[in-house]
Amino acid sequence: MGAASAPIEDFLAMLAAERGAAANTLAAYRRDLEGAEKLVGELASAPRAKVSQLGSAWASLAPSTVARKSSALRQFFGFLIDEGLRDDDPSPALPRPATRRLLPKILSHDEIETLFARAELEAASGRPRTVRMLALLELLYGSGLRATELVSLPVSAVPRDAPFLTVTGKGGQARMVPISRRAGEALARWLPLREAVSPWLFPSRGKHLTRIRLFQLLKELATHAGLNPGKISPHVLRHAFATHLLEGGADLRVLQTLLGHADIATTQIYTHVDAARLVALVNERHPLAEKRRGD
């Protein structure tokens, strides 16, 4: 097998920097992506019809292996779309074997409080970098934005008279996302400090802050807060947003809208966090439980 194509190398570099992927993980992604390219040609330009042939080529593999390979390709195609290297998404043509879905990583309320306490302490200095970090953190956890949605926010997305952000999510779908009072206050502190000529809410070097830099900044903040940096990422904070809202009694359909999920099945993975509350509810409110207490 020859060397991987340039888009695969760029994708692996993103995984290493943004998600802190280990060497073994990167090697596994490389094997899966290079193996797919050997079967269908360069993935960055492979038509959907070619991608659909992978299901037959993988027919003899275990469902878990097929699921892993499909996941690697879906993430890769998502990366290509985000980077403007593909206009279409051929990933629906990939096989979807039935496997147990992994639960998202979550942070405890105490860990969130520790992270915010450190961010607020650093932002008290008034330095633009620290004030920006607090605003980023508030929007990640307070509004559940994806990393790409957050860093690419234009200034025009921040309204002057309504507590909502206009966010463009996957597939170019726009949605309204509430801004908490805390996030609004953090943004009010940040706006006077940003580059006034930039169209981006979080400008950096003539463009906007990158996802990779956002990931690095969160790791640095976690280290300063005495938390394990391996547990912190934009994805984890988005998961914490969803998890803690459900714990507080949020409706699943509302959460679907806030997260920008096209399919509620994607949102339902967060229902695992409410298991303890549901068990307690059954034990306390079920008619048999009432009878047992009376006896």
In this structure, is residue 82 part of a structural domain? yes
Asked if 270 and 255 count as a contact pair (C-beta separation under 8 A), the reply is: yes
119 and 197 fall within a common domain: yes
139 and 262 fall within a common domain: yes
Catalytic residue among 208, 211, 238, 244: 238
In this structure, is residue 279 part of a structural domain? no
Q: Active site includes 239?
A: no
Q: Active site includes 207?
A: no
114 and 231 fall within a common domain: yes
Boundary residue ending a domain (33, 62, 93): 93
Catalytic residue among 132, 146, 194, 239: 146
- Distance CA(9)–CA(46), nearest Å, equals 17
CA 210 to mean position of chain CA atoms: 14
- Distance CA(248)–CA(274), nearest Å, equals 9
- Distance CA(67)–CA(225), nearest Å, equals 37
210 and 150 fall within a common domain: yes
Boundary residue ending a domain (58, 93, 128): 93
Q: Active site includes 235?
A: yes
Whichever domain contains 252, its CATH number is 1.10.443.10
Q: Active site includes 224?
A: no
61 and 159 fall within a common domain: no
What does pTM read for this prediction? 0.59
The reported pLDDT for the residue numbered 1 is 43
220 and 79 fall within a common domain: no
Q: Active site includes 238?
A: yes
Give the alpha-carbon dihedral of 131, 188, 141, 176, to 10 degrees.
-150
Catalytic residue among 189, 213, 224, 261: 261
Mean pLDDT, contiguous 10-residue spans, the chain (295 residues): 76 84 85 93 91 92 88 92 89 80 70 95 96 94 85 85 73 75 90 89 90 93 94 86 76 71 64 57 62 53
Q: Active site includes 270?
A: yes
Catalytic residue among 68, 170, 224, 272: 170
In this structure, is residue 14 part of a structural domain? yes
Catalytic residue among 224, 231, 235, 272: 235
In this structure, is residue 252 part of a structural domain? yes
In this structure, is residue 21 part of a structural domain? yes
141 and 85 fall within a common domain: no
130 and 227 fall within a common domain: yes
In this structure, is residue 288 part of a structural domain? no
The 8-class DSSP code of residue 200 comes to: B
Domain count, the chain: 2
b/e for 239-259, b at 16 or more Cβ within 10 A? bbbbbbbbeeeeeeeebbebb
Whichever domain contains 10, its CATH number is 1.10.150.130
| H-state helical runs in 99-232 | 109-123, 128-143, 147-151, 181-190, 211-224
67 and 120 fall within a common domain: no
In this structure, is residue 286 part of a structural domain? no
Q: Identify which of 58, 40, 42, 60 has the alpha carbon closest to the alpha carbon of residue 50.
A: 40
Boundary residue ending a domain (93, 128, 159): 93
The reported pLDDT for the residue numbered 127 is 95
135 and 253 fall within a common domain: yes
125 and 239 fall within a common domain: yes
In this structure, is residue 251 part of a structural domain? yes
| H-state helical runs in the chain | 6-18, 23-40, 48-51, 54-57, 63-82, 109-123, 128-143, 147-151, 181-190, 211-224, 234-247, 252-259, 264-267, 275-285, 287-294
114 and 12 fall within a common domain: no
Instruction: Identify the domain containing residue 64 by its residue range.
Output: 6-93
